[in-house]
Chains A and B, each alone.
Chain A
Amino acid sequence: MNFLKRTIPLIIAFVMGVLMAMQYYVPHKLSQNLLEVVSRWDRIIAGFAVFIGAYSLFHLHWTRIKRKVEGWGYSVFVYFGAIITLIFGFLNGGKFFWHDKQEGTMFDWLYSYVQVPAGATIFSILAFFIASAAYRTFRARTNESTVLLLAAIIVMLGRVPIGNYISHYIPAVADWIMAVPNLAAKRGILLGVSLGAIATSLKIILGIERSYLGGGD
């Protein structure tokens, strides 16, 4: 059992890890084909995984409805939305799902006039959250937050016409902040991230890090 649960996955991780790392350095057609095959398998597995995801979602909400837990009414809406979408998806504008997808159907309408606006509404909340988060961060309680506050004011003013109206130097200083200290910090983070990614990959390929298989050892 341990052989199936541990050894085989570790061998697969090692072989595929080494193979795909080397693939990056081999431009030959065979290497490109290997990448294509692996990517295709990835998409196939992802396709099947959708059913697992859908089962998880419906099972969870069914349990919530059955047990009448707090907010179970929202779970009814999950079923309502899914069933409506499935019906119009299968109907496919009267041509049914075994034909190519039709344009301008009720399915499209649901996407364009329900899902997209709902998503946009959630996204628009971000503006208010940025304001509240900025208020909390920019209170000049320490030297660091004072520097942050000043930098933020300059960058914000530098990005709007009034900044240039107040002084021609403001956009230039804003650009400098973005291009020099900001970029330097960003690159510093990226270098660390790259090293961390290499170390993590190596740990997984060599089987030192096994927690992704479940358990620590």
Chain B
Amino acid sequence: MKVLKKTFFITAIFSIPFFITTILFAQLPAFLIPPAEFKAFDTPNDAGETVSLTWSASPSDAPDVFYILYIDRDKDGAFEKEAMRIKSNTSYRTGAPEIYGYKKGNGNYHYVQLFPRKIFNGETIDKKQVYYFKLAIAAGDSKIILDTIASARAQGNWLHMKKANNFAILIILSAIILYFIVHARRNPNMFLRKIGGLDAVDEALGRATEMGKPVLFVHGLTSMGSISTIAAISILGRIARKIADYDANLKVVNNDPIVMSVSQEVVKESYLEAGRPDAYNPDNVFLVASEQFPYVAAVGGIMTRERPAANFFVGYFYAEALILAETGATTGAIQIAGTDAYTQLPFFITTCDYTLIGEELYAASAYLSREPMLMGTLRAQDVGKGLLILVLILGTILASFGLTFITHLFEAF
């Protein structure tokens, strides 16, 4: 029993300092392992408003451990302004592939972006101001501030280097298009695959002429800034020219005043070109409503009252696509739709006699005009598609073997 007591006493004597030390030192910053490689630099590929900061991850990183960044405009300043506070298990370089790519080690480094001007909001700051940063690691009441002072100046960049892949693709595709435009000049009898929807334009216009009923051209909902609206305007010009030749009646409904103004000009010029300026009636190109569903109600009303012999739905459509096309179908009109809104394509395919799918909308102008230079672009589109298919096949094969560099090569930033 005595031996037991003695053993307990000795153990207690040795254990007490251990426990005290543990309790004391657990509270002390010495147990927070400070990170290293703290660096600041101007964020690449930006407008010059941000500064990037990076540092290595610490073994102390945990949800209740924080990193605090202090900012000062003077290297010898007090660094009292807190620029950012983040949980130490967040914000890694993996979240910034536009700067660090997809390296395996990215998860071992933290990365943040700061807007120094916003931090010093209201203060007059020189454009060439260099900002100084200090990093601290903190948990509870403990905090270690690193001695390292990182500095950087926010500068605007003239080139977005990460968009170089996009630029290269643009240049390659543009070169192909230009080549085929030049080629088409020398060889105007270029073979073009048949597009059913466009071949049916003459049939639709002929039917309207024979029946003595109008042709209704319905614009999509997007403004003149949309490329599909520009394509729709081009098609309208070609159709208006044919209608002027056939002496049929064309009605163009719009929901955007600018699109309406452009449409009026295009139709007027087409009638002039056909030598029938007297047949042009500006009241036939009109605005019906600027909102989506009032537009649908108004166009639906025109369809049921005037019963056009042919309806053209060309441009970018949303939920109104099916309502318009289904109403047109009930009136017995021949319907041709063209859109690049892939969500609405099934509705048009279901309810229209012919549908121009996606790129065919952009091909329509060239196809209808048969101008050699415009037709050259159609061939170029097909060649471009061929190239993309090759890249897709190559990418699929490489990805199957775990080589993903081609995926990153085509990544958009």
Taking Cβ atoms with an 8 Å cutoff, the residues of A that contact B are: 21, 24-32, 42, 45-46, 49-54, 56-57, 59-60, 63, 70-71, 74, 115, 118-120, 122-123, 125-126, 129-130, 132-134, 136-137, 186, 189-193, 195-204, 208-209, 211-216
Contacts and interface: CB of A to CB of B under 8 A. Distances in A.
14 contacts: A29-B48, A30-B156, A46-B223, A49-B256, A53-B287, A59-B283, A129-B322, A189-B340, A192-B359, A193-B342, A197-B362, A198-B173, A198-B177, A212-B266
B359 A195 contact: yes
B260 interface: yes
Contacts of A74: 301
A125 B330 CA distance: 14
Contacts of A136: 350-351
A191 B359 CA distance: 9
Interface stretch (B65-73, B192-200, B373-381): B373-381
Closest 8 CB pairs between A and B? A214-B269, A196-B362, A53-B257, A192-B359, A211-B237, A49-B257, A196-B359, A215-B269
B238 interface: yes
Nearest to B324: A129
A73 to B, nearest CB: 12
Contacts of A57: 286-289
A53 B260 contact: yes
B45 interface: yes
A155 to B, nearest CB: 12
Interface in B148-168: 156-160, 163, 166-167
Contact of A133 (B47, B227, B294, B351): B351
B257 A56 contact: yes
Contacts of A32: 47
A63 B385 CA distance: 50
A129 B365 CA distance: 31
B114 interface: no
Contacts of A190: 342, 358
Given A186-B342, A189-B340, A199-B377, 6 more contacts: A30-B156, A70-B305, A118-B297, A122-B294, A189-B358, A216-B238
Given A28-B157, A201-B227, A56 B286 contact: yes
A209 B347 CA distance: 30
Interface string B289-300: 111111011000
B319 interface: yes
A191 B173 CA distance: 12
Contact of A27 (B160, B256, B345): B160
A137 B350 CA distance: 6
A192 B358 contact: yes
